[in-house]
Amino acid sequence: MRITLPALLTLGALATPAFADMTSGTILAYDRLANVIVLTDKTHWTLHADALVPADLKAGDKITIDFVSDGDNGSLPVKKLERQ
């Protein structure tokens, strides 16, 4: 079976990829039980259950968050964050 170039381009355009991104900020609040971080710019970040988080992470710490954008759905839970 032979697939034409326009068919491949159409198929590629219909796929909705997820894009990796990064942000930095200062922690305003961190809820360990709910796995949620709020930065001083008022953005809320949900942490993945398997995310590696420093045990002594606290408000006032400067962090960098690696996340995956999910288009109109916002972002997927954060799997990686680093203290600056």
Task: Report the number of distinct structural domains present in the chain.
Answer: 1
What pLDDT score was predicted for residue 40?
98
Residue 3 lies in a domain: no
Task: Report in angstroms the alpha-carbon separations of 52 from 9, 12, 35, 55.
Answer: 39, 34, 11, 9
pLDDT digits 0-9 by tens, 59-84: 999 999 999 988 888 889 999 999 99
Contact 56, 48 (CB under 8 A): no
pLDDT digits 0-9 by tens, 7-64: 656 655 555 555 679 999 999 999 999 999 999 999 999 999 999 899 999 999 999 9
pTM for this model (two decimals) = 0.73
CATH number of 23's domain: 2.40.50.320
Helices (H), the chain: 5-14
What pLDDT score was predicted for residue 74?
86
Residue 25 lies in a domain: yes
The total of other beta-carbon atoms located within 10 Å of residue 28's CB is: 15
Residue 68 lies in a domain: yes
Token duo for residue 84: 């600056």
The range of the structural domain enclosing residue 71 comes to 17-83
